[in-house]
Amino acid sequence: MTRDGADLTLRHPVERFTLDNGLRVVLAPDRSVPVVAVSVFYDVGMRSEPEGRTGFAHLFEHMMFQGSANVPKMEHARLVQAAGGMFNGSTHLDYTNYFQALPSEALERALFLEADRMAAPAITEENLRNQIDVVKEEIRVNVLNRPYGAFPWLQLPPVAFESFANTHDGYGSFVDLESSTVEDAEDFFSRYYAPSNAVLCLGGDLDTAETERLVRRWFDVVPARPAPPTPHTGEPSPTSVRRGVVEDPLIPTPAVAVGWRVPDPVGDFDTYLGTVLLAELLSEGDASRLELRLVHGDRVAVAQSSYLGLFGDPFDVRDATMLVTQVHHPAEVPADRVLDAVFEEVARVATDGVGAEELVRVQARTSAQLLRQADSVLGRTLAFAAAELVHGRAELAGELAARLAAVTPEQVQQAARGLDPGTAAVLELRTIGGRR
């Protein structure tokens, strides 16, 4: 591997244009396989939700699958699957996306479906009540009745942050969900699902001129509305330790999570890249620092992981965000003993740095993961769309492996120096009656 990583850059062509209604369109053609991916990323996520409407971004994702002006309920799924394709959607902290991958001859079908629900989803009382019930059941299955279901992604933010945007439950409280009205849903759609607040990204077997013609045919008619301001989610850096404790009757063993604020992943991207590799160095693989120390050496943990962003994708989140280390440990091991070992390993990197051979190994693994994700047309298209929406440059997705390969040991060491135990947020998850 070269130090500058130039050989790792994905050089897929990217073209873009903007419709009169403000919709940003990105085309990433690849004629090597007869498959297309169609994705729409809306600049609205869990951190966009107003007070009293927690969980609404995810609830509205469900609503977008309930039919639209010219597509009856369940017809979207039937039409995509009948063409031999797949579809899905997901809600994140800073965006919501919808996507499908199909044979290339079905491109226009996918464009029609996405344009129709961008223009007029079926927001009805019946659909809203049905989907509130569906989301509530998801919460029961994935959080309330699952061991570690809220740990740490829902339980750590209230300890680490101050603002409503960063601290509230993005899955939603039952009170907020049940009190939602059709008027709330219509207002949410009008405010956040404007074409000017979205990116349409298409990849795969595309003829660019014909694809632009089809995009304009179906999306030009979507009414223009002004895009809302991007929510401000940045916060001042903490100046002291913050600690919280939660008990969970379902868990077999306790756990502890520590979160450190990190550089702005958009505005200070080069510095942030050092933190990305630091997280990998600390916990990924059997040879990682925390795996060797906590699991195999001191034997104070049964499992550990470190990652950036509460959803574990470091490149699709805005400020403020954290590097999170979570450790599951035996009940007889105090949480503070685990934390001391974690802080000591971080301090070792901050003081002694990282050797070139160890860093190259981490860079190789990280770059391989990124390149593997880009192997599929859908994976590459989603990465381009996220990079366009969050960073303003779809091309960044193709540069990430090379940019990481160029990170120096000094950048990783500097990142470790930023993880001050005196400003960390710590969450203990205890069994009922468990000790500190």
Question: Are 204 and 297 in the same domain?
Answer: no
Peptide linkage before 320 cis (omega within 30 of 0) = yes
Q: Indicate the helix (H) or strand (E) that contains 342.
A: helix 335-352
The predicted structure's pLDDT at residue 171: 95
In percent, how much of the chain has pLDDT > 70? 98
| CB 372, CB 362: distance < 8 Å | no
Query: How much is the pLDDT for 1?
Result: 37
Mean pLDDT for the stretch of residues 187-194: 97
* pLDDT over 90 at 225, yes or no: yes
CA–CA separation, 65 and 45 (whole Å)? 17
Strand partners, 25: 17, 200
Q: Rounded to whole angstroms, how far apart are CA atoms 173 and 67?
A: 25
Residue 150 CA to residue 397 CA, distance in Å, equals 30
Alpha helices by DSSP H, 179-326: 182-192, 208-219, 269-283, 289-290
Task: Give the confidence band of 6 by pLDDT, cuts at 50, 70, 90.
Answer: low
Tell me the CATH number at 45. Answer: 3.30.830.10
User: What is residue 265's DSSP assignment?
Assistant: T
Give the confidence band of 12 by pLDDT, cuts at 50, 70, 90: confident
Q: What is the mean pLDDT of residues 201-229?
A: 97
- Chain segment 315-343, per-residue pLDDT in tens: 999 999 999 999 999 999 999 999 999 99
- The DSSP code for 395 is T
Given this model, what pLDDT does residue 347 score? 98
Number of C-beta neighbours around residue 88 at 10 A: 13
Tell me if 197 is assigned to some domain. yes
Pair (208, 258) in one structural domain:
no
**pLDDT tens digits for range 132-159:** 999 999 999 999 999 999 999 999 999 9
What distance in Å separates the CA atoms of residue 392 and residue 389, rounded to the nearest whole number? 6
Angstrom distance (rounded) from CA 128 to CA 63: 7
N-term to C-term CA, the chain = 46
Among candidate residues 175, 204, 219, the one where a domain is terminated: 219
Q: Are residues 246 and 141 in the same domain?
A: no
**Residue at which a domain ends, from 186, 219, 252:** 219
Counting every residue written for the chain, the total comes to: 436
Q: How confident is the model at residue 3 (pLDDT cuts 50, 70, 90)?
A: very low
* 203 inside domain: yes
CA distance 79 to 68: 14
Task: State pTM to two decimals.
Answer: 0.95
Residues 292 and 371 in one domain: yes
339 domain-assigned: yes
Q: Are residues 199 and 279 in the same domain?
A: no
Q: Confidence class of residue 42 from pLDDT cuts 50, 70 and 90?
A: very high
If asked whether residues 91 and 188 sit together in one domain, one would say yes
Nearest to 47 by CA among 92, 107, 105: 92
Task: Please give the order of strands across the beta sheet that includes 425-430.
Answer: 242-247, 425-430, 255-261, 322-328, 303-308
Q: Find out whether 118 and 193 touch, Cβ atoms under 8 Å.
A: yes
- Tell me the β-bridge partners of 425: 242, 259
Residue 127: CB atoms within 10 A of its CB come to 19
CA distances from 371 to 10, 218, 364, 401, 410 (A): 8, 33, 10, 7, 25
Q: How many CB atoms lie within 10 A of CB 315?
A: 21
Domain membership flag for residue 232: no
Average pLDDT over residues 42-58: 96
What Cα–Cα distance (Å) separates residue 182 from each residue in 66, 76, 177, 178? 14, 22, 12, 11
Q: Is 71 helix (H, G, I), strand (E, B) or coil?
A: strand
**Angle subtended by helix axes 396-405 and 377-391, to nearest 10:** 90
Q: Rounded CA gap, 180 and 176, in Å? A: 6
pLDDT digits (tens, 9 = 90+) for 411-434: 999 999 999 999 999 999 999 865
Look at residue 276 in the predicted model and tell me its pLDDT: 97
Q: Which pLDDT value is given to residue 375?
A: 87
pLDDT above 50: residue 306: yes
Buried b or exposed e, range 207-240, using 16+ CB within 10 angstroms: eeeebbebbeebbeebeebeeeeebebebeebee
| Claim to verify: residue 272 and residue 193 sit in the same structural domain | no
pLDDT band at 381 (very low <50, low <70, confident <90, very high): very high
CA-to-CA distance for 321 and 344, rounded, in angstroms?
Answer: 22
The answer to whether residue 436 scores a pLDDT higher than 50 is no
pLDDT value for 5: 52
The verdict on residue 224 lying in a domain is: no
**Separation between Cα atoms, residue 53 and residue 241, nearest integer Å:** 30
pLDDT tens per residue, range 86-113: 999 999 999 999 999 999 999 999 999 9
Mean pLDDT of all residues in the chain? 95
pLDDT of 129 strictly over 70: yes
Residue 83, pLDDT score:
97
Give me 321's structure tokens: 């965000």
One domain for residues 187 and 285: no
Judged on CB neighbours under 10 Å (0-12, 13-18, 19+), 271 is: middle
Total domains, the chain: 2
Mean pLDDT of 387-401: 96
Residue 46 has pLDDT above 60, yes or no: yes
Asked if pLDDT for residue 249 goes beyond 60, the answer is yes
Classify burial at 13, counting beta carbons within 10 Å of its beta carbon; exposed 0-12, middle 13-18, buried 19 or more: exposed
Both 186 and 327 in a single domain? Answer: no
Q: Is residue 236 part of a domain?
A: no
Is residue 108 in a domain? yes
Range(s) of the domain holding residue 73:
14-219
Q: Pick the residue with more confidence: 122 or 369?
A: 122
Confidence of residue 2 (pLDDT cuts 50, 70, 90): very low
**Judgement on whether residues 300 and 339 belong to the same structural domain of the protein:** yes
9 lies in a domain? no
pLDDT at 260 over 70: yes
- 248 plus 293 within the same structural domain: yes
Do 311 and 416 share a domain, yes or no?
yes
